[in-house]
Amino acid sequence: MKRRAGEREKELKKKRLLEELGENRLPYMTPADDDFHQLWKTKYSKLIFRKSETVPEELHQMVQKGFLTLREHDCFFQDLVRIKGKDFLTPVSRILIGNPGCTYKYLNTRLFTVPWPTEGYDIKYCSPQIHDACKALIRLNDYLHIEAVKTLQGQNLCETKEMKDTAVIDREQSFATSLTERGSVSKDQSGVCVPEDDSVSLKNRTSYNLTLLNYMDPLQMLYLKQEPYFGMGNMAVSWHHDENLVERSTVAVYSYSCEDSGVGESSEQELKGRDPAVWHVGLKVAWDIETPGLAIPLHQGDFYLMLDDLNMTHQHCVLAGLSPRFSSTHRVADCSRGTLEYIFGQCELALQNLQTDSDSVALSLKSLEAAVVKQVEEIHNEVEFEWLRQFWFQGKRYLKCTDWWLKPMAKLEEFWRKMEIMTSLVLSEVRKEQQIEEQRNETISCFLLVLKERQRLRKEWTVRCQSDAAESLPEDQKPECHPFWTDDDECNMPLPYDLEEVIAYLQNLTQWITSDLPA
């Protein structure tokens, strides 16, 4: 519900902003503009840019070879995301690589990491080349972590110096120098500085646990959205805040455009605005029509850092050039509810209410208290709709890289099947009349709410798996509606897939109990 309310609020803000603009367009600046450096320093100081020359050549070669390897093995996939109740294929193709057992959720889609080589984990890759590509990306991850720490420490020293020195330092520099400077913190932005002794906080906000890789060849796209506020041209990725991140954590983005692909920069000297042949990152202050935007060109091997709260106070987009481009976007994903360790812990918590009679194979529930039933059934829903259906909705795509996720998903399904049995046991118990009716009614009311949500979500996922967008995907990427069963299937499921009759029975039972209760 919170997410839907947030989406509605964003749509209203966007609508108001576009209405206010009318046919006009907001101003934006590129490095060719005289006030570009000053705007960057005062309004976008938490964006730090590094030219490709600052990165070790060996690392460039490893990472760029890794990108090409993953593309050759067809490991980039368009995601079927859900926006305002409709499914859309992303124009950009992606793959998530990171810590084993981690996931990353965006636009109602949970991606599962292809695990990079990690000590203590047995990861079998489909080929040595894919292993090497994942190894290159963890090398890049380590490098960007160190760079982010150094940058934040530098910002801290810079802030300390500025507090002691009231003199204004005029830094007139070339574009390249301006891009690579650390920048000062402006009055309109809250301090980026980390206390020097707060090394734990600094580490937590720069220890990237995954990277979302992106790939697009603009010339293969039938249609790209136009940037709506500034007239910046074709967008590969629309304006957004990155989701599902640890608060105030740094995002690092490494860019590799295939500039030797026969597409060059525009030769027009009088070109206004950004060069449409070159990829850019666009930035703007969120929901603001006073501050000009920025469009910064991205060349082969450049990277940038979005520090502190920049991702919250500002929005960014990716403006398409003409050449194919890869990027590796390193994030500190909020994994509080998005790791195997977490969801297995939830399963164990739910199954604590399941009791096996030591003298027989009969199963029973330890408690029928409404709060306990509600907690168990909500975990049941979480396993089914946030994990099992999310995973199988992406088809067999992960098998292009590794089969690592198959065992944990099979284990999750075993837990889920036990929870289906627990649901049937609750149903059996509330049918019995020897319970105190007030308590019985409270349990049924909680139980009904969760079952109605389960029924609604099962219908939604079934429809999503049969949508035109789903059918358009390659065979090995087509969504699978799993788990799914019919009454004719010999799968020994204790309850039907369609819960309409169960819900109707419980509603009638509630009415009957309520009519018998004293006024």
With tokens 């047995």, the residue in question is 122
- Closest to 29 in 3D by CA, of 284, 391, 300, 342: 284
Residue range 207-228: mean pLDDT, rounded: 96
pLDDT at position 350 is 98
Res 164: pLDDT: 52
Name, of 10-19, 178-187, 492-501, the range with top average pLDDT: 492-501
pLDDT tens by residue, 440-482:
889 999 999 999 999 999 999 999 999 999 999 999 999 999 9
Q: pLDDT (tens digit, 9 = 90+) per residue, 491-500? A: 789 999 999 9
Contacts of 377 (CB under 8 A, 6+ apart): 419, 423, 426, 446, 447, 450, 451, 454
Helix axes 437-465, 370-382, angle to 10 degrees: 10
- The Cα angle at residue 282 between residues 301 and 252, in degrees rounded to 5: 45
Domains of the chain by range and CATH? 1-159+205-260+273-331 (2.60.120.590), 340-514 (1.20.58.1470)
* pLDDT on residue 487: 81
Q: Where residue 196 falls among pLDDT bands split at 50, 70, 90?
A: very low
Tens of pLDDT, residues 317-374: 999 999 999 999 999 999 999 999 999 999 999 999 999 766 657 899 999 999 999 9
Confidence of residue 69 (pLDDT cuts 50, 70, 90): very high
pLDDT score of 203: 87
Residue 253 has pLDDT above 90, yes or no: yes
- Whether the predicted pLDDT of 515 surpasses 90: no
The model carries a pTM of: 0.88
Q: Coil, strand, or helix at residue 491? A: coil
Rounded CA-CA distance 63/213 in Å is: 11
Q: How buried is residue 484: exposed, middle or buried, by Cβ count under 10 Å (0-12/13-18/19+)? A: middle
- Structure confidence by residue, pLDDT tens digits, 38-60: 999 999 999 999 999 999 999 99
